[in-house]
Amino acid sequence: MKTLKIITIVWVFASIFTSCAQEKKTNLKPTNMYDIAINSLTGEKIDLNQFKGKKILFVNVASECGFTPQYKDLQKLHETYKNKLVVIGLPCNQFGNQESGTTAQIKSFCEKNYGVDFLMTEKIDVKGESQHPLYGWLTKESMNGVMESSVKWNFQKYLVDENGKLIDVFYSTTEPLSDKIVKLL
């Protein structure tokens, strides 16, 4: 009889614990993108909170890619819509080793060849075990609350609204000045 009481008590506690764990799991809320830490290309901390009230276009970039000429239109997008849009380039060397340069080389290449003066971050990983937390947020529905995606190649674009909510993802073949993007600005 004593054994039966112990088993019953253990079962009740296990049921309560399991129920609470499942409830917690299904009520996951998206994390706040603005609280994610990332550094600029020159090493300074970027406070994403400063961009509240503006849309943000995050683009993983590379200097030796067939899509590298998109830097030109990203710069145009930055210049044309800077009152309501922040363009952020995130160098990444995960696709074909196409961003193998140092910080100084990346900065020089972008400025010299495309006149880039939009915000550039440190070199990061956008997928895999070393994925930067920002790309964890951009690609995981459990974090962004909108959609699941994976980064397919360089110059994939993620558009976030003025309140930090993911709007959409655009693959490399979508030009920065395409109607698909511009109509959402």
Helices (H), 57-182: 70-81, 103-114, 133-139, 141-144, 179-182
Q: Are residues 38 and 24 in the same domain?
A: no
Overall average pLDDT of the 68-91 stretch: 98
Number of domains in the chain: 2
Mean pLDDT of 34-59: 97
CATH number for the domain spanning 106: value is 3.40.30.10
Say how far apart CA 102 and CA 28 lie, in whole Å: 39
pTM of the model: 0.84
Confidence of residue 2 (pLDDT cuts 50, 70, 90): low
- pLDDT value of position 10: 46
Q: When comparing pLDDT for 142 and 20, which is higher?
A: 142
The pLDDT-based confidence of 31 (bands split at 50, 70, 90) is confident
- 63 and 140 in a single domain? The answer is yes
CA distance 122 to 101: 12
Say whether both 174 and 126 belong to one domain.
yes
Q: Which residues constitute the domain of residue 13?
A: 1-29
Active-site positions? 65
